Amino acid sequence: MVDLANPNNDFEVVSPPGDTVTAMEFSPAASQKTFLVAGSWDNTVRCWEVQEIGQTIPKSIRSMTMPIYDICWNGDGTKVFTASYNNQVECWDLEGNRTMLVGTHDGPVRTCHWVVSSPYTCVMTGSLDGTLKFWDLRSPNPLLKINVGEKVYCADVIYPHVVVGTETNNIITYNVAVKKMLASHSVSS
Protein backbone atom coordinates (compact mmCIF):
# COMPACT_ATOMS: atom_id res chain seq x y z
CA MET A 1 0.00 0.00 0.00
CA VAL A 2 1.35 3.45 -0.96
CA ASP A 3 1.29 6.24 1.63
CA LEU A 4 -0.50 9.05 -0.23
CA ALA A 5 0.96 11.72 2.06
CA ASN A 6 4.50 10.55 1.32
CA PRO A 7 4.43 8.32 -1.78
CA ASN A 8 8.22 8.35 -2.28
CA ASN A 9 8.97 7.65 1.38
CA ASP A 10 11.01 10.86 1.59
CA PHE A 11 12.13 12.22 4.94
CA GLU A 12 9.50 13.96 7.02
CA VAL A 13 10.34 16.78 9.40
CA VAL A 14 10.70 15.48 12.95
CA SER A 15 8.46 17.17 15.56
CA PRO A 16 6.33 19.27 13.19
CA PRO A 17 3.98 22.00 14.46
CA GLY A 18 0.64 20.95 15.92
CA ASP A 19 -1.39 23.18 13.58
CA THR A 20 -1.27 24.75 10.13
CA VAL A 21 2.18 25.89 8.98
CA THR A 22 1.87 29.49 7.76
CA ALA A 23 5.48 30.21 6.78
CA MET A 24 8.81 28.45 6.45
CA GLU A 25 12.23 29.39 5.19
CA PHE A 26 15.71 27.91 4.87
CA SER A 27 18.61 29.75 6.47
CA PRO A 28 20.65 32.06 4.24
CA ALA A 29 23.75 30.82 2.41
CA ALA A 30 25.96 32.65 4.93
CA SER A 31 24.93 30.16 7.66
CA GLN A 32 27.49 27.56 8.72
CA LYS A 33 24.82 24.84 8.50
CA THR A 34 21.44 24.51 6.82
CA PHE A 35 18.50 25.29 9.06
CA LEU A 36 14.76 25.41 8.44
CA VAL A 37 12.38 27.56 10.47
CA ALA A 38 8.59 27.36 10.40
CA GLY A 39 5.86 29.46 11.96
CA SER A 40 2.44 28.07 12.73
CA TRP A 41 -1.08 28.67 13.95
CA ASP A 42 -0.05 26.73 17.08
CA ASN A 43 1.74 29.93 18.25
CA THR A 44 5.22 28.49 17.76
CA VAL A 45 8.31 29.07 15.67
CA ARG A 46 10.44 25.96 15.26
CA CYS A 47 13.98 25.48 14.00
CA TRP A 48 15.51 22.30 12.60
CA GLU A 49 18.97 21.52 11.31
CA VAL A 50 18.69 19.92 7.86
CA GLN A 51 21.35 17.33 7.12
CA GLU A 52 22.68 16.78 3.60
CA ILE A 53 20.62 13.62 3.13
CA GLY A 54 17.43 15.51 4.07
CA GLN A 55 16.87 14.33 7.61
CA THR A 56 15.95 16.99 10.17
CA ILE A 57 17.11 17.42 13.74
CA PRO A 58 14.95 19.60 16.01
CA LYS A 59 17.13 22.43 17.34
CA SER A 60 14.82 24.87 19.08
CA ILE A 61 11.24 25.92 19.54
CA ARG A 62 9.89 29.28 20.65
CA SER A 63 6.35 29.77 21.94
CA MET A 64 4.70 33.04 20.99
CA THR A 65 1.50 34.65 22.24
CA MET A 66 -0.46 34.41 18.97
CA PRO A 67 -0.29 32.65 15.58
CA ILE A 68 2.61 33.45 13.25
CA TYR A 69 1.86 34.79 9.77
CA ASP A 70 5.38 35.08 8.35
CA ILE A 71 9.07 34.65 9.15
CA CYS A 72 12.40 35.70 7.70
CA TRP A 73 16.09 35.33 8.53
CA ASN A 74 18.64 38.09 8.97
CA GLY A 75 21.63 38.06 6.60
CA ASP A 76 23.98 35.88 8.64
CA GLY A 77 21.39 33.34 9.81
CA THR A 78 21.64 34.10 13.53
CA LYS A 79 18.22 35.70 13.94
CA VAL A 80 14.68 34.97 12.82
CA PHE A 81 12.00 37.65 12.58
CA THR A 82 8.33 36.85 13.10
CA ALA A 83 5.24 38.64 11.85
CA SER A 84 2.35 37.83 14.13
CA TYR A 85 -1.38 38.03 14.58
CA ASN A 86 -0.72 39.97 17.82
CA ASN A 87 0.34 43.10 15.81
CA GLN A 88 4.00 42.56 16.74
CA VAL A 89 7.26 41.99 14.95
CA GLU A 90 9.73 40.05 17.06
CA CYS A 91 13.33 38.98 16.67
CA TRP A 92 14.38 35.52 17.87
CA ASP A 93 18.12 35.38 18.54
CA LEU A 94 18.87 31.71 17.95
CA GLU A 95 22.30 31.78 19.57
CA GLY A 96 21.00 33.14 22.88
CA ASN A 97 17.47 31.71 22.48
CA ARG A 98 15.97 35.11 23.38
CA THR A 99 13.27 37.17 21.72
CA MET A 100 12.95 40.92 21.58
CA LEU A 101 10.21 43.17 20.35
CA VAL A 102 11.24 44.94 17.13
CA GLY A 103 8.09 46.99 16.65
CA THR A 104 4.31 47.03 16.42
CA HIS A 105 1.53 47.79 13.97
CA ASP A 106 -2.11 48.69 14.62
CA GLY A 107 -3.25 45.38 13.11
CA PRO A 108 -1.95 41.85 12.54
CA VAL A 109 1.42 41.75 10.76
CA ARG A 110 1.14 39.63 7.62
CA THR A 111 4.63 39.79 6.14
CA CYS A 112 8.26 40.41 7.09
CA HIS A 113 11.43 40.59 4.98
CA TRP A 114 15.10 41.24 5.62
CA VAL A 115 16.25 44.22 3.54
CA VAL A 116 19.89 44.65 2.56
CA SER A 117 20.98 47.90 0.97
CA SER A 118 24.03 50.10 0.92
CA PRO A 119 22.50 52.77 3.19
CA TYR A 120 21.09 50.32 5.77
CA THR A 121 19.89 46.83 6.66
CA CYS A 122 16.52 46.47 8.30
CA VAL A 123 13.32 44.45 8.56
CA MET A 124 10.37 45.42 6.38
CA THR A 125 6.91 44.52 7.69
CA GLY A 126 3.45 44.81 6.16
CA SER A 127 0.22 44.79 8.12
CA LEU A 128 -3.53 44.59 7.89
CA ASP A 129 -3.42 48.15 9.29
CA GLY A 130 -2.50 49.27 5.74
CA THR A 131 1.13 50.18 6.37
CA LEU A 132 4.63 49.05 5.49
CA LYS A 133 7.27 49.78 8.11
CA PHE A 134 11.05 49.48 7.96
CA TRP A 135 12.73 48.70 11.29
CA ASP A 136 16.31 49.26 12.42
CA LEU A 137 16.94 46.96 15.40
CA ARG A 138 18.66 49.79 17.27
CA SER A 139 15.54 51.96 17.39
CA PRO A 140 11.96 51.46 18.62
CA ASN A 141 10.67 53.71 15.82
CA PRO A 142 10.54 52.69 12.17
CA LEU A 143 13.11 54.13 9.75
CA LEU A 144 10.34 54.59 7.23
CA LYS A 145 6.56 54.15 7.20
CA ILE A 146 4.55 53.90 3.99
CA ASN A 147 0.78 54.31 4.17
CA VAL A 148 -0.49 51.82 1.58
CA GLY A 149 -4.11 52.79 2.18
CA GLU A 150 -5.47 49.26 2.31
CA LYS A 151 -4.71 45.99 4.05
CA VAL A 152 -1.33 44.48 3.15
CA TYR A 153 -1.55 40.71 2.61
CA CYS A 154 1.84 39.98 1.09
CA ALA A 155 4.98 41.75 -0.03
CA ASP A 156 8.48 41.21 -1.32
CA VAL A 157 11.56 43.36 -1.65
CA ILE A 158 14.74 43.56 -3.68
CA TYR A 159 16.18 46.88 -2.62
CA PRO A 160 15.20 49.50 -3.67
CA HIS A 161 12.03 47.92 -5.09
CA VAL A 162 9.12 46.82 -2.89
CA VAL A 163 6.01 45.13 -4.19
CA VAL A 164 2.83 44.80 -2.10
CA GLY A 165 -0.31 42.67 -2.59
CA THR A 166 -3.41 44.24 -1.05
CA GLU A 167 -6.94 43.31 0.00
CA THR A 168 -8.54 44.73 -3.18
CA ASN A 169 -6.38 42.68 -5.55
CA ASN A 170 -3.96 45.53 -6.18
CA ILE A 171 -0.25 45.02 -6.65
CA ILE A 172 1.58 48.21 -5.74
CA THR A 173 5.27 48.89 -6.26
CA TYR A 174 7.43 51.41 -4.41
CA ASN A 175 10.96 52.65 -4.87
CA VAL A 176 11.98 52.91 -1.22
CA ALA A 177 15.25 54.71 -1.99
CA VAL A 178 13.13 57.61 -3.23
CA LYS A 179 10.69 57.26 -0.30
CA LYS A 180 13.59 57.28 2.19
CA MET A 181 15.09 60.38 0.57
CA LEU A 182 11.71 62.15 0.69
CA ALA A 183 11.18 61.14 4.35
CA SER A 184 14.66 62.39 5.29
CA HIS A 185 14.10 65.65 3.42
CA SER A 186 10.74 66.32 5.08
CA VAL A 187 12.23 65.73 8.55
CA SER A 188 15.06 68.21 7.97
CA SER A 189 12.91 71.02 6.56
Summarised one tens digit per residue, pLDDT across range 84-126 is 999 999 999 998 999 999 999 999 999 999 998 877 789 999 9
Paired with 188 in beta bridges are none
* Mean pLDDT of all residues in 135-145: 91
Query: What's the pTM?
Result: 0.88
Q: What is the pLDDT of residue 150?
A: 96
Q: How confident is the model at residue 152 (pLDDT cuts 50, 70, 90)?
A: very high
pLDDT tier for residue 11 given thresholds of 50, 70 and 90: confident
Residue 8: pLDDT band (50, 70, 90) is confident
Position 115 scores a pLDDT of 94
